[in-house]
Amino acid sequence: MHFDVEYHLVRGHDMAAIDRAAERAGHRITVAQPAGFDPAADLTAWFQKAQIPPIRVRRQAWYETGFFSHAAHLDRVGLWSRSSFHSQAAMDQVRAYSAPARAQAVLAGAAVEPSKYTQPSTERPWHGVVLGTQVSRDHSVTTIPGADGHDAYWRFARGACAYYRKNLFIKLHPKLQGTDRINFTALAGEYGCTWGDVGMKVLDGCKFLLVYTSGLAVDAWLRGVPVAQFAPGYFSDTGAVTFTMGEYPDELDRADTAEMAQKMCDFLIWKYCYYQDMPPEAFVAMLEAFACAPEGEAFPLPEELSYAAQAPLAQVPQRKDSKHAVPVAHSHR
Protein backbone atom coordinates (compact mmCIF):
# COMPACT_ATOMS: atom_id res chain seq x y z
CA MET A 1 0.00 0.00 0.00
CA HIS A 2 1.24 3.47 -0.90
CA PHE A 3 0.47 6.42 1.40
CA ASP A 4 0.83 9.81 -0.24
CA VAL A 5 0.64 12.27 2.66
CA GLU A 6 1.05 16.00 3.08
CA TYR A 7 4.05 17.38 4.96
CA HIS A 8 1.87 18.74 7.78
CA LEU A 9 0.87 15.24 8.79
CA VAL A 10 4.43 14.05 9.39
CA ARG A 11 6.40 17.19 10.31
CA GLY A 12 8.21 16.79 13.61
CA HIS A 13 8.42 13.03 13.11
CA ASP A 14 11.55 11.02 12.36
CA MET A 15 10.75 10.24 8.74
CA ALA A 16 13.55 7.71 8.46
CA ALA A 17 12.02 5.72 11.31
CA ILE A 18 8.54 6.01 9.77
CA ASP A 19 9.87 4.88 6.37
CA ARG A 20 11.48 1.83 7.98
CA ALA A 21 8.28 0.99 9.87
CA ALA A 22 6.26 1.33 6.67
CA GLU A 23 8.67 -0.88 4.74
CA ARG A 24 8.49 -3.59 7.42
CA ALA A 25 4.69 -3.53 7.10
CA GLY A 26 4.90 -3.72 3.30
CA HIS A 27 3.97 -0.06 2.69
CA ARG A 28 5.55 3.01 1.16
CA ILE A 29 5.11 6.67 2.10
CA THR A 30 5.55 9.70 -0.14
CA VAL A 31 5.54 13.15 1.44
CA ALA A 32 4.24 16.14 -0.54
CA GLN A 33 5.66 19.54 0.40
CA PRO A 34 3.19 22.33 1.28
CA ALA A 35 2.51 25.28 -0.98
CA GLY A 36 0.65 27.65 1.34
CA PHE A 37 -2.21 26.79 3.66
CA ASP A 38 -5.26 25.19 2.14
CA PRO A 39 -7.46 22.96 4.35
CA ALA A 40 -8.46 20.94 1.30
CA ALA A 41 -4.88 20.26 0.23
CA ASP A 42 -2.11 20.89 2.75
CA LEU A 43 -3.92 19.16 5.57
CA THR A 44 -5.14 16.28 3.44
CA ALA A 45 -3.58 12.85 3.67
CA TRP A 46 -4.23 10.83 0.53
CA PHE A 47 -4.20 7.08 0.96
CA GLN A 48 -3.66 5.10 -2.23
CA LYS A 49 -4.23 1.37 -2.25
CA ALA A 50 -2.97 -0.90 -5.03
CA GLN A 51 -5.44 -3.52 -6.17
CA ILE A 52 -5.49 -6.32 -8.76
CA PRO A 53 -5.95 -5.25 -11.47
CA PRO A 54 -4.04 -2.14 -10.36
CA ILE A 55 -6.46 0.61 -9.33
CA ARG A 56 -5.48 3.63 -7.32
CA VAL A 57 -8.17 4.28 -4.72
CA ARG A 58 -7.91 7.70 -3.14
CA ARG A 59 -9.00 8.14 0.45
CA GLN A 60 -8.56 11.42 2.24
CA ALA A 61 -8.44 12.70 5.80
CA TRP A 62 -7.82 16.18 7.12
CA TYR A 63 -5.20 16.66 9.81
CA GLU A 64 -5.28 19.06 12.76
CA THR A 65 -3.81 19.32 16.24
CA GLY A 66 -5.87 19.20 19.48
CA PHE A 67 -7.60 18.72 21.91
CA PHE A 68 -5.06 17.49 24.45
CA SER A 69 -1.33 17.97 24.94
CA HIS A 70 0.60 16.50 21.96
CA ALA A 71 -2.65 15.35 20.38
CA ALA A 72 -3.75 15.44 16.75
CA HIS A 73 -6.59 13.96 14.75
CA LEU A 74 -7.55 12.93 11.24
CA ASP A 75 -11.08 13.62 10.05
CA ARG A 76 -12.43 11.98 6.91
CA VAL A 77 -15.01 14.71 6.32
CA GLY A 78 -13.36 18.03 7.22
CA LEU A 79 -12.20 20.30 10.00
CA TRP A 80 -13.86 22.62 12.50
CA SER A 81 -17.39 23.47 11.40
CA ARG A 82 -17.12 20.87 8.60
CA SER A 83 -15.96 17.97 10.77
CA SER A 84 -17.47 14.49 11.10
CA PHE A 85 -19.41 15.46 14.23
CA HIS A 86 -22.05 17.30 12.20
CA SER A 87 -24.19 14.31 11.28
CA GLN A 88 -26.82 12.30 13.09
CA ALA A 89 -24.97 9.05 12.36
CA ALA A 90 -21.79 10.40 13.94
CA MET A 91 -23.59 11.53 17.07
CA ASP A 92 -25.38 8.20 17.35
CA GLN A 93 -21.95 6.57 17.32
CA VAL A 94 -20.67 8.90 20.04
CA ARG A 95 -23.71 8.24 22.24
CA ALA A 96 -23.41 4.48 21.83
CA TYR A 97 -19.67 4.35 22.48
CA SER A 98 -18.46 2.71 25.70
CA ALA A 99 -14.94 3.90 26.52
CA PRO A 100 -12.47 1.59 28.27
CA ALA A 101 -11.89 4.39 30.82
CA ARG A 102 -13.02 7.93 31.38
CA ALA A 103 -10.95 10.66 29.76
CA GLN A 104 -10.23 12.15 33.20
CA ALA A 105 -8.75 8.84 34.37
CA VAL A 106 -6.59 8.58 31.26
CA LEU A 107 -5.19 12.07 31.72
CA ALA A 108 -4.65 11.58 35.44
CA GLY A 109 -2.45 8.57 34.71
CA ALA A 110 -0.58 10.02 31.73
CA ALA A 111 2.75 11.82 31.86
CA VAL A 112 1.42 14.78 29.87
CA GLU A 113 -0.39 17.97 30.75
CA PRO A 114 -4.13 17.63 30.09
CA SER A 115 -4.46 20.90 28.17
CA LYS A 116 -3.42 21.39 24.54
CA TYR A 117 -1.39 24.49 25.46
CA THR A 118 0.95 25.08 28.37
CA GLN A 119 -1.05 27.21 30.79
CA PRO A 120 0.14 30.14 32.94
CA SER A 121 0.97 29.32 36.56
CA THR A 122 -1.07 32.28 37.85
CA GLU A 123 -4.54 31.28 38.99
CA ARG A 124 -7.61 33.43 39.57
CA PRO A 125 -10.96 32.43 41.07
CA TRP A 126 -13.99 33.72 39.18
CA HIS A 127 -17.71 33.35 39.78
CA GLY A 128 -19.10 35.05 36.69
CA VAL A 129 -18.77 34.15 33.01
CA VAL A 130 -15.36 33.26 31.53
CA LEU A 131 -14.64 34.17 27.91
CA GLY A 132 -12.16 31.78 26.28
CA THR A 133 -10.29 33.82 23.67
CA GLN A 134 -8.82 32.65 20.38
CA VAL A 135 -6.23 33.91 17.96
CA SER A 136 -8.45 35.93 15.63
CA ARG A 137 -6.67 34.78 12.46
CA ASP A 138 -6.88 31.09 13.37
CA HIS A 139 -8.44 28.95 10.65
CA SER A 140 -11.10 27.69 13.05
CA VAL A 141 -12.29 31.32 13.14
CA THR A 142 -11.76 32.46 9.57
CA THR A 143 -13.21 29.41 7.77
CA ILE A 144 -16.70 29.47 9.31
CA PRO A 145 -19.22 29.21 6.45
CA GLY A 146 -21.28 32.33 5.90
CA ALA A 147 -19.27 34.50 8.30
CA ASP A 148 -16.75 37.21 7.54
CA GLY A 149 -14.20 35.50 9.76
CA HIS A 150 -11.94 37.95 11.52
CA ASP A 151 -14.51 40.77 11.67
CA ALA A 152 -17.28 38.48 12.91
CA TYR A 153 -15.03 37.30 15.71
CA TRP A 154 -14.38 40.82 16.96
CA ARG A 155 -18.09 41.64 16.84
CA PHE A 156 -18.62 38.58 19.04
CA ALA A 157 -15.89 39.65 21.48
CA ARG A 158 -17.17 43.21 21.75
CA GLY A 159 -20.72 41.97 22.17
CA ALA A 160 -19.69 39.65 25.01
CA CYS A 161 -17.84 42.43 26.82
CA ALA A 162 -20.75 44.84 26.38
CA TYR A 163 -23.30 42.25 27.56
CA TYR A 164 -21.56 40.82 30.64
CA ARG A 165 -19.36 43.82 31.60
CA LYS A 166 -17.96 43.43 35.13
CA ASN A 167 -19.24 39.85 35.31
CA LEU A 168 -16.92 38.75 32.49
CA PHE A 169 -13.38 37.42 32.87
CA ILE A 170 -11.38 37.36 29.64
CA LYS A 171 -8.99 34.38 29.75
CA LEU A 172 -6.27 35.25 27.30
CA HIS A 173 -5.16 32.46 24.97
CA PRO A 174 -1.60 31.29 25.83
CA LYS A 175 -0.48 32.23 22.30
CA LEU A 176 -2.29 35.57 22.13
CA GLN A 177 0.08 38.34 21.05
CA GLY A 178 0.24 41.66 19.26
CA THR A 179 -2.95 43.29 18.04
CA ASP A 180 -5.21 40.56 19.44
CA ARG A 181 -3.87 41.10 22.94
CA ILE A 182 -4.16 44.88 22.64
CA ASN A 183 -7.74 44.58 21.39
CA PHE A 184 -8.87 42.37 24.26
CA THR A 185 -7.28 44.49 26.96
CA ALA A 186 -8.82 47.59 25.36
CA LEU A 187 -12.27 45.98 25.32
CA ALA A 188 -11.87 45.01 28.97
CA GLY A 189 -11.05 48.59 29.87
CA GLU A 190 -13.93 49.99 27.83
CA TYR A 191 -16.60 47.74 29.36
CA GLY A 192 -15.21 47.11 32.86
CA CYS A 193 -14.35 43.44 32.30
CA THR A 194 -11.47 41.64 34.01
CA TRP A 195 -8.75 39.99 31.95
CA GLY A 196 -5.65 37.96 32.66
CA ASP A 197 -3.09 35.31 31.76
CA VAL A 198 -4.30 32.58 34.07
CA GLY A 199 -4.51 28.81 34.30
CA MET A 200 -7.52 26.53 34.15
CA LYS A 201 -8.65 26.96 37.75
CA VAL A 202 -10.45 30.12 36.65
CA LEU A 203 -13.06 27.75 35.23
CA ASP A 204 -13.75 25.82 38.41
CA GLY A 205 -16.06 28.31 40.11
CA CYS A 206 -17.41 30.14 37.06
CA LYS A 207 -21.04 30.18 35.87
CA PHE A 208 -20.07 28.89 32.47
CA LEU A 209 -17.44 29.19 29.74
CA LEU A 210 -18.29 31.24 26.65
CA VAL A 211 -16.38 30.46 23.44
CA TYR A 212 -16.61 31.42 19.79
CA THR A 213 -15.39 28.02 18.51
CA SER A 214 -12.49 27.35 20.90
CA GLY A 215 -11.27 23.88 21.88
CA LEU A 216 -11.04 25.24 25.43
CA ALA A 217 -14.50 23.71 25.63
CA VAL A 218 -12.81 20.33 26.17
CA ASP A 219 -10.88 21.63 29.18
CA ALA A 220 -14.15 22.91 30.61
CA TRP A 221 -15.88 19.56 30.07
CA LEU A 222 -13.07 17.74 31.86
CA ARG A 223 -13.79 19.99 34.87
CA GLY A 224 -17.56 19.59 34.68
CA VAL A 225 -18.07 23.19 33.54
CA PRO A 226 -20.89 23.95 31.04
CA VAL A 227 -20.00 25.65 27.77
CA ALA A 228 -21.85 28.16 25.60
CA GLN A 229 -20.62 28.14 21.99
CA PHE A 230 -21.43 31.17 19.84
CA ALA A 231 -20.45 30.11 16.31
CA PRO A 232 -20.44 26.81 14.35
CA GLY A 233 -17.43 24.61 15.11
CA TYR A 234 -16.47 21.07 16.07
CA PHE A 235 -18.99 20.79 18.89
CA SER A 236 -21.93 23.01 17.94
CA ASP A 237 -24.11 20.06 16.88
CA THR A 238 -23.04 17.59 19.54
CA GLY A 239 -25.25 18.51 22.48
CA ALA A 240 -22.12 18.79 24.62
CA VAL A 241 -22.30 22.59 24.41
CA THR A 242 -25.17 25.04 24.42
CA PHE A 243 -25.03 26.36 20.87
CA THR A 244 -26.25 29.94 21.27
CA MET A 245 -26.56 30.73 17.55
CA GLY A 246 -25.39 34.29 18.07
CA GLU A 247 -26.98 34.99 21.46
CA TYR A 248 -25.37 35.71 24.84
CA PRO A 249 -26.98 33.51 27.53
CA ASP A 250 -27.45 34.56 31.16
CA GLU A 251 -27.52 31.08 32.63
CA LEU A 252 -26.78 27.50 31.54
CA ASP A 253 -28.23 24.36 33.06
CA ARG A 254 -25.32 21.98 33.63
CA ALA A 255 -27.65 19.00 33.41
CA ASP A 256 -28.56 19.84 29.82
CA THR A 257 -25.10 19.09 28.46
CA ALA A 258 -23.22 17.16 31.19
CA GLU A 259 -23.82 13.65 29.81
CA MET A 260 -22.87 14.50 26.23
CA ALA A 261 -19.88 16.53 27.40
CA GLN A 262 -18.49 13.46 29.18
CA LYS A 263 -19.25 11.23 26.20
CA MET A 264 -17.45 13.64 23.89
CA CYS A 265 -14.36 13.72 26.13
CA ASP A 266 -14.26 9.93 26.17
CA PHE A 267 -14.81 9.67 22.43
CA LEU A 268 -12.19 12.29 21.61
CA ILE A 269 -9.49 10.60 23.65
CA TRP A 270 -10.24 7.01 22.56
CA LYS A 271 -11.64 7.28 19.02
CA TYR A 272 -10.69 10.64 17.50
CA CYS A 273 -7.33 11.90 18.74
CA TYR A 274 -3.95 10.21 18.54
CA TYR A 275 -0.73 10.90 20.42
CA GLN A 276 1.61 12.74 18.06
CA ASP A 277 4.74 11.07 19.45
CA MET A 278 3.37 7.55 19.04
CA PRO A 279 5.93 4.97 17.80
CA PRO A 280 6.49 4.82 14.01
CA GLU A 281 4.89 1.37 13.83
CA ALA A 282 1.72 2.68 15.46
CA PHE A 283 1.68 5.74 13.20
CA VAL A 284 1.90 3.58 10.08
CA ALA A 285 -0.80 1.25 11.43
CA MET A 286 -3.04 4.30 11.92
CA LEU A 287 -2.55 5.35 8.28
CA GLU A 288 -3.43 1.82 7.21
CA ALA A 289 -6.59 1.85 9.34
CA PHE A 290 -7.77 5.04 7.66
CA ALA A 291 -6.84 3.77 4.20
CA CYS A 292 -8.72 0.51 4.62
CA ALA A 293 -11.79 1.84 6.42
CA PRO A 294 -15.16 1.37 4.70
CA GLU A 295 -16.40 4.47 2.92
CA GLY A 296 -19.14 5.11 5.47
CA GLU A 297 -16.88 4.87 8.52
CA ALA A 298 -16.30 8.37 9.91
CA PHE A 299 -14.10 7.32 12.84
CA PRO A 300 -11.70 4.53 11.77
CA LEU A 301 -9.11 5.11 14.53
CA PRO A 302 -8.74 1.84 16.53
CA GLU A 303 -8.77 2.18 20.32
CA GLU A 304 -5.30 0.67 20.59
CA LEU A 305 -3.88 3.45 18.39
CA SER A 306 -5.71 6.28 20.13
CA TYR A 307 -4.33 9.04 22.30
CA ALA A 308 -5.56 7.23 25.41
CA ALA A 309 -3.70 4.03 24.57
CA GLN A 310 -0.51 5.60 23.23
CA ALA A 311 0.15 8.55 25.58
CA PRO A 312 3.26 7.86 27.69
CA LEU A 313 2.94 6.35 31.15
CA ALA A 314 -0.79 5.93 30.74
CA GLN A 315 -2.22 3.73 33.46
CA VAL A 316 -5.85 3.06 32.62
CA PRO A 317 -8.15 0.23 33.69
CA GLN A 318 -9.87 -2.03 31.20
CA ARG A 319 -13.65 -2.11 31.01
CA LYS A 320 -15.07 -5.17 32.70
CA ASP A 321 -16.72 -6.54 29.56
CA SER A 322 -13.58 -6.24 27.44
CA LYS A 323 -12.54 -9.49 25.75
CA HIS A 324 -9.09 -8.21 24.99
CA ALA A 325 -6.60 -5.91 26.63
CA VAL A 326 -6.03 -2.52 25.08
CA PRO A 327 -2.26 -2.06 24.58
CA VAL A 328 -1.02 0.89 26.62
CA ALA A 329 2.34 2.44 25.85
CA HIS A 330 4.48 3.27 28.88
CA SER A 331 7.10 5.43 27.21
CA HIS A 332 7.99 6.44 23.69
CA ARG A 333 10.70 8.96 24.45
* pLDDT, tens only, 214-265: 999 999 999 999 999 999 999 999 999 999 988 999 999 999 999 999 999 9
Q: Which residues contact 169 (CB under 8 A, 6 or more apart)?
A: 124, 126, 128, 129, 130, 131, 193, 194, 195, 196, 202, 206
For residue 56, count CB atoms less than 10 angstroms from its CB and return exposed for 0-12, middle for 13-18, buried for 19 or more. exposed
Per the domain annotation, does 320 fall within a domain?
Answer: no
Per the domain annotation, does 178 fall within a domain?
Answer: yes
> Are 288 and 171 contained in the same domain?
no
Domain count, the chain: 2
Measured distance CA(64)–CA(75) in Å, rounded:
8
> Are 212 and 282 contained in the same domain?
no
User: Which residues of the chain register pLDDT less than 70?
Assistant: 50-55, 147, 313-333
The pLDDT, as a whole number, for residue 315 is 53
Are 247 and 240 within 8 A, CB to CB? no
> Are 251 and 293 contained in the same domain?
no
> Are 116 and 211 contained in the same domain?
yes
> Are 121 and 217 contained in the same domain?
yes
> Are 72 and 140 contained in the same domain?
no
The pLDDT, as a whole number, for residue 324 is 34
Per the domain annotation, does 15 fall within a domain?
Answer: yes
Predicted TM-score (pTM) of the model is 0.90
| Residue ranges making up the domain that contains 119 | 112-269
